[in-house]
Amino acid sequence: MSLLTDLQEGALEPEYRAGSAAAPSRLRFAAAIALVAVLVTVALLQTTRGAGTAAAQRQELLDRVAAAEARQGEVADRVTALDEEIGRLGQQALGDPDQRARLTELEQLTGAVAVEGPGIVVEVSDAPGADGTSGLVLDGDLTRLVNGLWTAGAEAISINGRRLTVLTPIRSAGAAITVDYVSLSPPYRLDVIGDPNRLQARFNETAAASWWHFLTQNYGVTMSISQADGDLSLPADSGMTLRHAAAG
């Protein structure tokens, strides 16, 4: 019986027996590779799907912003048209020509209507390479500049397209300056309607001019004053509303 047993056990070559033992290891290795490939594929699909979702959401937000901006423009145009209609009705309601002229004058002075006329352009900006608050144009600097221009005889002023009135606040909000609660960025352009031959000369005699000379000399902020090329056009103050009226 031992001879038969030896014959059965020795029927296979040693190399074959070794190969047969290694087969399960190769199968396990192949299975592991397949599992890793499946996991990588799933991860890639999830990443791609996530990126596609994020892109779709971003585009949706952009579309909503564009639609809101378009709607805002339409509303602004409608407000302008209604303001003009109110002005015409107010003029028609006044039978006295003197009262009409007075109303027109007050509307121009208060910023209730758009105005056009000759004037000067003042442009100021931060110092090149300004660090911190040193070399920056501050809200108080702009306020002094505006007050100096009023003193010099300005009839109407706007900053970066925002009409200034006695009710217009100039304030700081973090690193930005807000005019009528709208954040502005330098350079700050002031369109000033008035007699261009006298405005600059009179402004140079004000305390505001001395202050800005000090800023330019010591902090590097920039300032330029030039006569406007043609008439300036200043919009009405969008926040100006009639609060009280009485017959004179």
Say if pTM beats, i.e. exceeds, 0.85: no
Widest CA span in the chain: 140
Sign of CA dihedral 106, 111, 112, 118: positive
**By three-state DSSP, how is residue 13 classified?**
coil
**Cα dihedral sign, 101-103-106-111:** negative
Going by C-beta distance under 8 Å and a sequence separation of 6 or more, which residues neighbour residue 234? Answer: 114, 115, 116, 156, 157, 158, 163, 191, 193
Whether the Cβ atoms of residue 47 and residue 54 lie closer than 8 Å to each other: no
Angle between helix 196-203 and helix 139-151 axes, rounded to 10 deg: 120
pLDDT of residue 16: 46
Does residue 187 have a cis bond before it (omega within 30 degrees)?
Answer: yes
Q: Per-residue pLDDT for the chain (248 aa), expressed as one digit of tens each?
A: 554 455 445 544 554 455 545 556 667 777 778 777 777 777 767 776 666 677 777 788 888 888 887 888 788 778 777 777 776 776 677 666 776 676 666 666 666 678 899 999 999 999 988 776 778 999 999 999 999 999 999 999 999 999 998 788 899 887 789 988 888 989 999 999 999 989 999 999 999 999 999 999 999 999 999 999 999 998 877 666 556 556 55
Instruction: Look up tokens 């006569």; give the residue.
Output: 227
Q: Which segments within the chain are labelled E, that is strand?
A: 115-117, 119-125, 156-159, 162-163, 170-173, 176-179, 182-184, 188-193, 222-227, 232-234
**DSSP 8-state code for residue 168:** -
